[in-house]
Amino acid sequence: MAHEAVLVPGDGVGPEVTGAARRVVDATGVPLRWEVREAGRGAFERVGDALPAGTLAAIRAAGACLKGPCETPPGSGLRNVNVALRQALGLFAGLRPCRLLPGVPSRYEAVDVVVVRESTEDLYVGVEFARGEAATRELVAFLEEAAGVQVRGDSGISVKAISAAASERIVRFAFEVARARGRRKVTAGHKGNIMKHTDGLFLEVARAVAAEHPDVAFEERIIDALTMALVQRPEAFEVVVLPNLYGDIVSELCAGIVGGPGVVPWAHLGEGVG
């Protein structure tokens, strides 16, 4: 019986790389029935929608999608097609295994790190206040009155939101990945020493979840020290779990030390869909 899968070629190099990836997947012998759908600039130019409802429905129905890079065209009404896709489908986990492959040039001899990134909140919630707008001035005044914090009047402001529920979900996912892949340690990256009510909450939840998994070692690293350690001794890390923004950066760093983003996989996963 063939499995349903959606193919979104995307824009730019998208059709070329997804075509190559499809040939590789088909060569495994796993029976797949591909349904080609659109998203990105090409979709916007053809049907006036950079993320058509039909594409989302097809991915939900199939549960699996192979997607090329999608450009977010001006005037589409979307801040970012890829972020909108993740939010619409509830793809809360970004998974990037970074393993050094034979024949790929690298400064290292052995790297095998799995980066787990929370993908629904943090600064990526997209709540921003532009410089000079009335709402921004009101927020600046509120912050000074309520928190005693003085923010320059010519500032733009972004809201960083981290919840206990999303933190627990992604940390549990990281421990499940560790167990499934035979990994012995999970590392949580954070800046809880400074951002005590956001990163601090993420760390508090991570500690609680780690206590339920005594068979897997747990450590916590402040994000700046973590990035330095990853460059110095990547072999010391197995699974690294991070909030959204740090996960975005660390996943690229780890890809870079094994040859670049062109030689590592990248999946966005949710409940029953990816």
Q: Where does 131-239 have alpha helices with state H?
A: 134-147, 164-180, 199-211, 223-232
Respond yes or no: is residue 191 known to be catalytic: yes
Respond yes or no: is residue 154 known to be catalytic: no
pTM listed for this prediction: 0.91
Encode pLDDT of 111-136 as tens digits.
999 999 999 999 988 899 999 999 99
Q: Which of 67, 124, 199, 246 is catalytic?
A: 124
Q: Which of 11, 122, 199, 248 is catalytic?
A: 248
Averaged pLDDT of the chain: 95
Kindly tell me if the per-residue pLDDT of 33 is higher than 90.
Answer: yes
Q: Which of 26, 108, 196, 224 is catalytic?
A: 224
User: 245: which residues sit within 8 A by CB, 6+ positions away?
Assistant: 122, 123, 124
Q: Which of 11, 122, 191, 199 is catalytic?
A: 191
Q: What are phi and psi of 218, to 5 degrees?
A: -135, 140
Q: What is the pLDDT of residue 126?
A: 83
Measured CA to CA in angstroms, residue 48 lies from 7, 52, 82 at distances of: 20, 9, 17
Look-up of token digits 């000079």: 132
Respond yes or no: is residue 224 known to be catalytic: yes
| Percent of the residues in the chain that have a pLDDT greater than 70, as a whole number | 100
Region 14-38: what's the mean pLDDT? 94
For the sheet with 267-269, list strands across it. Answer: 217-222, 185-190, 239-242, 112-118, 93-99, 267-269
Q: What is the pLDDT of residue 261?
A: 85
Q: What is the pLDDT of residue 214?
A: 96
Which of the 8 DSSP states describes residue 117? Answer: E
Residue 159 three-state SS: coil
